[in-house]
Amino acid sequence: MTRLSAVAVLLLFVLQVQAQIVDNSWRDHLNYTNGQSVAVTGTEVYCAAGVGLFCYDKEDGRIRHLTTIEGLSDMGVGSIAYNERLNILVVGYTNGNIDLIDDDERIFNMPGLKDKNMSVSKRVNHINFDGDKAYLSCDFGLTVVDLKLRKFVDTYVLTNDGRQIKIKGSQVFGEYLYAFSEYGLIRGRLDNLFLSDFRNWEYVSIDTERMWVNTGCEFNGKLYVSEDYDDNSSCVMAYDGQNWTVVWDSLPSVKSLTSRDGLLVVCTSVGMTSYEANLHQHATLETEYVTMGFADGDLIWYSDSYYSLGRYSDGDFMAIVPEGPWSNRFYSVCYNAGKLLVAPGGISQPSGNMYIPADVFSYDGSRWEHIDRNVFLEMEEMRDVIGFATHGNPNHYIAIAWRYGIWEYNNGVGQHITVNKDEVYGDAVSGCAFDSRGNLWTANAFSQIPISVRTAGGDWYSCNYGGNMIGQHTGKLICTRNDDLWLVQPRGGKILVWNANGTPETASDDNYLCFLPCNESGGELNSNINDIVQDRNGAVWIASDEGVYVYDHPEYILQGKNFFARYPQMIEEGYYQSLLITEVVNTIAVDGGNRKWIGTESGGLFVISPDGTEQYAAYNKDNSPLFSNNVMSLAIDDDKGIIYIVTDRGLQSAVISSTKPDAGMSSVFAAPNPVPPDYYDDVTIRGLAEQTVVRITDLRGNLVHETMSNGGSALWNLCNRDGRRVETGIYLIQCTTTDGVTRNVGKIHVVK
């Protein structure tokens, strides 16, 4: 055994236990434009936008996202409020979960309400304070939290004729706690120790025929509440402790009433107006999207269902929109030569439409672009973009719109392609792929013409291949390195492999085979196929409802030699088990080190060795910032080493410990470099050749660290061989490639 191969064997274990995802590299890619509530502190403004929070710094204008990646306990924010007395931001979620965030952004989770066994919705609709207490208005009633003690102190389940009452908000005024509900205004005395008994509450007559009271606040010594006539108009009443008076009658539908810094802010369906103590108008803004506003001196901060967050002062307003996609509807992703493509459509069970308007989002690593239906008018009538076909040109791709044909984007020009004059394919295109000659192949579900091709010259032809897929539900389509095309049926179907022999216009010389997936013993494998991908060694991997199986030599299939698949065997608790056999596998992606990243329906994300026999890592929502255990689609940027993950709760990304190898090692670099003293994560060395032994030495040649590249990358934890962080200094990167050549390729400057 050569010294190089011996080192490779010794370092195999090191490679496996390395972090597959770089620490603190997770990032969300969510849409924050649906602003629903706002909270103002001395230095920052928080906006709740459905999936999560973001924070705007008043001084420098920086925007920070707050999701489970940053430590929030959940997703789906119902309401937020800031307690100025204790400097605590209270976050209430749609599932009843509660986070308390202090000024140092330490998060204390209170899951008691979420975990409580209740058959009704626990959504937190509104948060109101009285001293150290927070009153959370929920779909079942109210719950009370002592913010200082960080504990629940009471729960009030309010009912009307046996039906639980949805509480939209509350306000302490005088000796009473007032609750705003669909059945009117309800109140209970604060000194009553038995408010958990609804018999100790009373309805408040406001001498009107209106019923729904949806918002209110205390302002200038009076209780202000809004009652709805109907869905379009409201009346604002004021109560001084004795009598009710009409303040504004027949307003457009009122969304919120808030008071702060001596101003009353009224948000309606047509705009926002602030009032001084004498009810003279202070400021007004016409907008149909405002949802809640708060005064901050002479400024008004408001949440906005279109722009996220707004700031208004002296007749000027500024929209504050975090960078992100235009929607949180994510179905699949595809990486295409420097750009991520996102499909926001979907397919309903078993094969219907979701009718989500056709959109395409693209991301270049810093900015999002929306392929807008208002610009590309042909997209207006299309629905449900589910995937893409690409061929290495970032400005040219095909978008698949389920049952609406395909849409081609080429250097700023868009074209909707449906059935042409020869009817060569139908509208239910399930998959597309380019071959090496630039021919575009389509799989057509439920069609009498199941396979079509558009040549690089623009001519269309149809292919039947003996009727194997006629009228059937086709699925995904890939083109392998030798131009074999693989088409799968998604539910209990077959696999069709064909090769056009370089002449797509001539079907007579095509070679094809249609078969059910089976193993070498003839046993049928799971044929509910969800994804198909070819790895760096040429093997074809199949994601099914019962794990993953592999065709190690797919090039043999059309030669009639071997069309059997295998389940990779892993040792679990001393026993061999087929790879993820108990998991419904949705998607597979292959990184620069040929590792398999596998997304499942309920088990999260798995990282598997190149041959599928070892599990390197498993990420789920309990042990990582993964949004959800339902991973729907994956895409990998091999140049930067970034994986993009679509879950049913949103899109996120992370830096992985592998990139595409560079055989010539022409541009090896380390990041960060120099390493600052407050940096405690791994240094990533990129631009390496595959299976390169990497040695870190000091300037005197003493070995500090040794590892092996994963694809084109290697990691160094800044520790020496004794596990201690290295001292300040210059360290050399020395690489030995598989041909035995050793060379110095870079330096790393570490500051301790």
440-444 and 213-219 beta bridge pairing: unpaired
- Type of residue numbered 127: I
User: Is the alpha carbon torsion for 443, 447, 453, 454 positive or negative?
Assistant: negative
CA dihedral of residues 25, 26, 31, 33 (deg, nearest 10): -60
Which pLDDT score, from 0 to 100, does residue 10 have? 33
CATH of the domain spanning 3-18+663-750: 2.60.40.3080
- Does residue 268 contact residue 234 with C-beta atoms inside 8 Å? yes
Q: Indicate the SS3 state at residue 540.
A: strand
Exposure on the CB side of residue 346, measured as CA atoms within 13 A: 14
Residue 573 has which token pair? 């608790």
Residue 650 has which token pair? 């949103």
**Neighbour count for residue 575 (Cβ, 10 Å):** 8
In the chain, CATH 2.60.40.3080 sits at: 3-18+663-750
Q: Is the CATH number 3.20.20.70 carried by domain 332-569? A: no
Which pLDDT score, from 0 to 100, does residue 426 have? 60
| Of 477, 466, 371, 380, nearest in space to 430 by CA | 477
- Does residue 195 contact residue 201 with C-beta atoms inside 8 Å? yes
- Which regions in the chain score pLDDT beneath 70? 1-19, 207-210, 418-427
Q: What is the DSSP string of 452-471?
A: EEE-TTS-EEEE-GGGTTTT
From the number of C-beta atoms within 10 Å of its C-beta (0-12, 13-18, 19+), residue 547 rates as buried
- Type of residue numbered 146: D
From the number of C-beta atoms within 10 Å of its C-beta (0-12, 13-18, 19+), residue 327 rates as middle
**Neighbour count for residue 710 (Cβ, 10 Å):** 28
| Of 335, 387, 263, 401, nearest in space to 591 by CA | 335
In the chain, CATH 2.130.10.10 sits at: 332-569
27-28 and 650-655 beta bridge pairing: antiparallel
- Does residue 306 contact residue 289 with C-beta atoms inside 8 Å? yes
Phi-psi region of 366 (alpha: psi -120 to 50; beta: other; left: phi over 0): alpha
| Of 704, 662, 710, nearest in space to 684 by CA | 710
Residue 419 has which token pair? 């059935």
Buried b (16+ CB within 10 A) or exposed e, 117-138: ebeeebbbbbbbbeeebbbbbb
Interacting residues of 523 by C-beta distance below 8 A, sequence separation 6+: none
